[in-house]
Structure 1
Amino acid sequence: MATSQGTWGYRDRFGDAFARTYFRRFGPGVASSIGLGTYLGEPTDAVDERYRESITEALSAGINVVDTAINYRHQRSERVVGDALDAAEIDREEVVVATKGGFVPFDGSRPDDPAAYVRSEFLDTGLVDPDDLARGSHAISPDFLDAMLDQSLSNLGLETVDCYYVHNPETQLQVRDRESVYDALEAAFERLERRRAAGDIGGYGVATWEAFRVPRSHDAYLSLPEVVARAESAAEAVGVGDVGLAAVQLPFNVAMADAFTVAAHGHPEEDRDVSALEYAQAVDLDVVASATLAQGDLAASIPAGVDAELAGETPAQRAINFARSAPGVTTALVGTSSPAHVPENVAAGTFEPLGARAFDAVFQ
């Protein structure tokens, strides 16, 4: 598990190589503001090896945040992260490891008949109730998340993950009303509070694609204040002294800045709506930005008006620094399937991000 002593020690070893504010407060310690994403890539041995090399190199160069999910590349990404943590010359206590549960995972490769696989492995075994399954592939029921967390810990070869995200809960809105989804989240949070008390996770969060960055009228909308309230209720029900909800993950980049521009969440102390980023900052929730390079599209070029304001030698570095500059963002995730891109991505942290006024000016 990442610790204050471990992550601050990591920062002391690498911090002088980076610009000010590169390392930021996260949980009990600090985290690099550039993190390693593991979503993209075919489920092959060759891609596994590229990920293994990339993650090992990045962990040894100043990035101490690794993000994955049990369904990424059919569990291969989690297993590669575990291999890289073993291979890198760092201590486990120095690294923030996050994974996610929610989507039904395949095992190593896509089966010939996915529906039959889901039926035999999850429905017929009673691991998932048919009523809890959305789109034939998504569930957030407590027993399912319990089992997926156990499998993730096995895949990673770890006793504890630092942040366990409920993955894309807005998917459930396709089969149930919003209040029922909040109820399901509260039940999931109760189970995760128990796993936190048992030492299996350091904290938990909600990883989304649309839910927190769309208007209230959108079919995929979920209220951050309501999610926080449900986490508070879960902690109270379990009888723990604090709330384990630690972070939210959402897309944020030059082309997808809705988490900063769309005011859809009631401010905790003022009578006004604010963006997801402003709300999270107001209640001390860490924000992890996904899709920092828009799955590679921003590595070649970014809009000229924004590009001119950002520091970095390449478009990819400037796009990374845009996400790192957003108020409230702790870490911006960058895909790590190519060893050739690791030095460039790491070096983005040697440049200063935009200050708050300069960042605001981009949107004026």
Structure 2
Amino acid sequence: MATRDALWGYRDAFGDAFGRTHFRRFGPGVASSVGLGTYLGEPTDAVDDALRETLRLGIESGVNHVDTAANYRCGRSERVVGEALRDATVDREAVVVATKGGFLPFDGERPDDPAAYLRERFVDPGIVDPGDLAGAHSLAPGYLEWSLDRSLDRLGLETVDCYYVHNPETQLAQRSREAVYEALEVAFEALERRRIAGDVGAYGVATWDAFRVAEDADAYLSIREVLSRAEAAGESVGPDDDHGFAAIQLPFNVRMADAFTRANQFLPDDPDGEPISTLEFAHEAGLSVVTSASVGQGDLTADGAIPTGVDARLSGDTPAQRALNFARSAPGVTCSLVGTTDPDHLRENVAAGTFDPLGASAFDAVFE
């Protein structure tokens, strides 16, 4: 588990090589504002080898926030993260490790008949109830606990620092919004118990659409309501009224800036007031924000991909660095994830942190 002393020690060891606010508060200490993503890549041994090397290189170069999920690359990404942590010369306690559960994962490769595999692997043994499924997704607490146990096994860790419920808005295809909130509360109760047991340091939700879309959109979820369910779970489980809901993850980049530009959330103490953005809500609520798709899954790394007026305001030697620094500059963002299996691209991404992000007023000016 990441510890305060180890995280601050990592910052002291690497901080002078980076720009202002490269290290930001996360969990018990601080972690890098550039994070290592593990979503993309085919489920092959060759990609495993390349990803393992770039993760190790990143961890040893000043990036100590690693993000994965049970279903990424058919479960291979979690295994590779664990291997990279063991290979690195950096202590595990100096690295924030996050993973996710919700989607039913394959095991190492894509089966010829995915539906048959999921039925035989999950439904028939009773790991999931068909009534809890929305496609290949479940929020059932029993399944999430099973998934957490498998993640810990694949990672080879006793604790993950942040465990996300993965894309809970997926359930809205099958059930009402209120039913999803109720399912989240029960899931959070399970995660509170696992937090007390020391299996997770904190938890949150990782989303794609839920917090970016308008209130009347089918995929919308209210962070206020999600947070209130975590608060209720903390009160229910005890031993005190505290809770471990600490972070949200969502896409954010120069082409997907809804978390900053769309006012679609309401503060708990002002439910009838003016709506605010997701990033503002997270800041007011003290939640960490981790951005996915920070370089548009590679789309923003080409010359001319960033609008000229925005590109001119951003620091960085390459489009990838400027795209990453746009995401890192948004008020309230704690860490921006970017993934690669190319060592040169990894070095380029790490070097993005050597440039200072835009200040709040300069970032606001981008949208004027």
Give the TM-score taking structure 2 as reference length: 0.98
Matches within 5 A, 1:1-364: 1-135=1-135, 137-241=136-240, 242-270=242-270, 271-300=273-302, 301-364=305-368
Letter in 2 for 1:61: S
Whole-angstrom distance in 2 between the partners of 1:114 and 1:85: 31
Contact 1:268–1:279 (Cα < 8 Å) also in 2 = no
Contact 1:311–1:352 (Cα < 8 Å) also in 2 = yes
Whole-angstrom distance in 1 between the partners of 2:267 and 2:100: 27
Whole-angstrom distance in 1 between the partners of 2:292 and 2:234: 27
Query: Any idea what the Cα deviations from partners look like across 1:210-251, whole Å, max 9, x if unmatched?
Result: 000111000000000000000000001101331100100000
Query: Any idea what the Cα deviations from partners look like across 1:37-75, whole Å, max 9, x if unmatched?
Result: 000000000000110010000000000000000100000
Query: Any idea what the Cα deviations from partners look like across 1:58-98, whole Å, max 9, x if unmatched?
Result: 00000000000010000000000000000010101100000
> How far is the alpha carbon of 1:338 from its aligned partner?
1.9
Whole-angstrom distance in 2 between the partners of 1:268 and 1:223: 11
Whole-angstrom distance in 1 between the partners of 2:16 and 2:182: 46
Contact 1:2–1:95 (Cα < 8 Å) also in 2 = yes
> How far is the alpha carbon of 1:303 from its aligned partner?
1.1
> How far is the alpha carbon of 1:331 from its aligned partner?
0.1
Letter in 1 for 2:265: H
Letter in 1 for 2:315: A
Query: Any idea what the Cα deviations from partners look like across 1:303-338, whole Å, max 9, x if unmatched?
Result: 111100000000000000000000000000001222
Letter in 1 for 2:133: L
> How far is the alpha carbon of 1:269 from its aligned partner?
3.9
Whole-angstrom distance in 2 between the partners of 1:219 and 1:211: 9
3-state SS of 1:312 partner:
coil
3-state SS of 2:247 partner:
strand
Contact 1:268–1:282 (Cα < 8 Å) also in 2 = no
3-state SS of 1:296 partner:
helix
Give the TM-score taking structure 1 as reference length: 0.99
> How far is the alpha carbon of 1:339 from its aligned partner?
1.8
3-state SS of 1:99 partner:
strand
Query: Which range moves more in the overlay, 148-157 or 295-304?
Result: 295-304
Query: Any idea what the Cα deviations from partners look like across 1:262-290, whole Å, max 9, x if unmatched?
Result: 11110234421111100000000000000
Whole-angstrom distance in 2 between the partners of 1:339 and 1:11: 22
Please report the RMSD computed on the Cα atoms of aligned residues, expressed in angstroms: 0.7
Gaps of 5+ in 2: none
3-state SS of 1:295 partner:
helix
Whole-angstrom distance in 2 between the partners of 1:223 and 1:268: 11
Whole-angstrom distance in 2 between the partners of 1:31 and 1:179: 35
> How far is the alpha carbon of 1:340 from its aligned partner?
2.1
Letter in 2 for 1:333: L
How many residue pairs match? The answer is: 363
Contact 1:317–1:347 (Cα < 8 Å) also in 2 = yes
Query: Any idea what the Cα deviations from partners look like across 1:132-157, whole Å, max 9, x if unmatched?
Result: 0002x000100000000000000000
Whole-angstrom distance in 2 between the partners of 1:48 and 1:315: 27
Whole-angstrom distance in 2 between the partners of 1:298 and 1:60: 26
Contact 1:75–1:106 (Cα < 8 Å) also in 2 = yes
Aligned-residue sequence identity (percent) comes to 67
Letter in 2 for 1:180: A
